[in-house]
């Protein structure tokens, strides 16, 4: 056992190393990677080395669209993106990104709806898509890397992270690891809480050990988001309790954002009640071409929790909204809370 004098020396030595490390970080803070949307970046800040962010949404609310929109802006800035597309393969992601670059809705391509377009329109789109895909080994597309696996496993997480760590020194604008989505765990026997903890821990461990940056999409509990039959449940601010296996994700996350399609700010109580009673279509009370994010957790700025970010939606991608339009939509939305009692 060390004596008191040696213990004091060890403590002072540790302090010296810690102060030197803090000073080094102060002078060389490293490269952060932003989301690329000013309204979101104002709340989130940048994803720094060793940080893990989560984007939570119900099925069909735009997780993959948001991911592709972030990728599109990231690679345009020279950020290297390594994506584990467990729900969609690399060929589908590349096709969707090519469609976005051609101002074609990716949904039209992935669903083959475009095959029913007028011949001239279809052929013009085909030529643009073919040229874009052929160009994907050149800048900025050469910043995009895929890890194709059928299911999320700790080994798959390690493969993504190791590729990012290897490319970091060759990436002045930084690297970003993306997992879409982390709940795609595999056959029913492997969809346990323990498997979820294992892959989330693998992300966190790699981030801390190697300084990799992570953006991870996650699903919501279907039972929670069904709202007891409330058809509006998926179109409100997302709570931490709604996130699938959310407790351990919240523990490791630097930031968590919820993503959803919001209700129209001017929807009347009668319109909302008609939708709940299944006497009207849900689309009649949703904001057109709008996506909303709410800040669920922010390790650096706790006072930003609860903040909402409003983005547009056009041709299958997220877009920026002018500040005055975003403020007007938020004011309308608050009207639902104050005048109808139905958030």
Kind and range of the H or E element at 333? helix 323-339
Q: What is the 3-state secondary structure (H, E, C) of 152-171?
A: CCHHHHHHHHHHHHHHHCCC
Nearest to 252 by CA among 42, 51, 114, 101: 51
Say whether pLDDT at 274 is over 60.
yes
> Is-contact 139 76, C-beta < 8 A?
no
Q: Taking the CA of residue 293 as centre, how many other CA atoms within 13 Å lie in the half-sphere pointing to its CB?
A: 28
Q: How many CB atoms lie within 10 A of CB 120?
A: 8
| pLDDT per residue as tens digits for the range 26-40 | 655 668 999 999 999
pTM over 0.85: yes
CA distance 225 to 203: 26
- Closest to 193 in 3D by CA, of 240, 246, 157, 150: 246
Measured from the Cβ of residue 1, the count of other Cβ atoms closer than 10 Å reads 4
Average pLDDT, the chain: 89
The reported pLDDT for the residue numbered 2 is 55
Residue 168 has pLDDT above 70, yes or no: yes
* pLDDT for the residue numbered 335: 62
Amino acid 341: pLDDT: 44
Tens digit of pLDDT for each residue in 55-102?
999 988 999 999 999 999 999 999 999 999 888 889 999 999 999 999
Report residue 261's pLDDT band, with 50, 70 and 90 as the boundaries.
very high
Supply the pLDDT for residue 338. Answer: 37
297-339: per-residue pLDDT in tens?
Answer: 999 999 999 999 999 999 899 999 987 777 777 777 666 543 4
Identify the pLDDT of residue 67. 96
Query: What are the residues facing 284 on neighbouring strands?
Result: none
Tokens linked to 25: 């970080």
CA atoms of 206 and 225, how far apart (whole Å):
31
Query: How high is the pLDDT of residue 337?
Result: 47
């Amino acid at each position: 056992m060390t004596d008191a004098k040696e213990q004091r020396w060890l403590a002072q030595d540790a302090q010296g190393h810690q102060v030197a490390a803090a000073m080094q970080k102060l002078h060389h803070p490293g490269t952060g990677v932003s989301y690329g949307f000013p309204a979101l970046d104002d709340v989130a800040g940048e994803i720094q080395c060793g940080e893990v962010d989560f984007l939570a949404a119900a099925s069909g609310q735009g997780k993959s669209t948001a991911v592709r929109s972030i990728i599109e802006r990231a690679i345009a800035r020279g950020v290297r993106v390594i994506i584990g597309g467990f729900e969609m393969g690399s060929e589908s992601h590349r096709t969707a990104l090519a469609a976005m670059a051609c101002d074609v809705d990716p949904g039209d391509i992935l669903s083959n709806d475009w095959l029913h377009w007028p011949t001239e329109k279809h052929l013009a789109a085909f030529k643009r898509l073919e040229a874009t895909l052929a160009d994907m080994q050149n800048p900025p597309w050469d910043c995009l890397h895929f890890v194709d696996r059928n299911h999320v496993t700790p080994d798959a997480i390690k493969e993504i992270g190791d590729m990012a760590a290897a490319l970091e020194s060759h990436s002045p604008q930084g690297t970003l690891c993306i997992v879409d989505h982390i709940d795609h765990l595999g056959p029913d026997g492997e969809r346990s809480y323990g498997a979820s903890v294992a892959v989330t821990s693998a992300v966190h461990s790699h981030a801390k050990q190697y300084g990799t940056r992570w953006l991870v999409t996650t699903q919501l509990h279907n039972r929670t988001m069904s709202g007891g039959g409330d058809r509006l449940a998926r179109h409100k601010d997302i709570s931490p309790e709604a996130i699938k296996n959310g407790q351990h994700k919240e523990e490791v996350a630097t930031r968590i954002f919820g993503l959803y399609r919001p209700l129209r700010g001017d929807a009347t109580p009668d319109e909302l009640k008609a939708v709940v009673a299944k006497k009207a279509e849900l689309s009649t009370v949703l904001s057109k071409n709008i996506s909303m994010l709410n800040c669920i957790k922010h390790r650096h700025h706790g006072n930003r929790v609860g903040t909402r970010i409003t983005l547009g939606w056009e041709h299958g991608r997220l877009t920026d909204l002018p500040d005055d339009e975003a403020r007007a939509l938020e004011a309308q939305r608050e009207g639902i809370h104050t005048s109808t009692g139905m958030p």
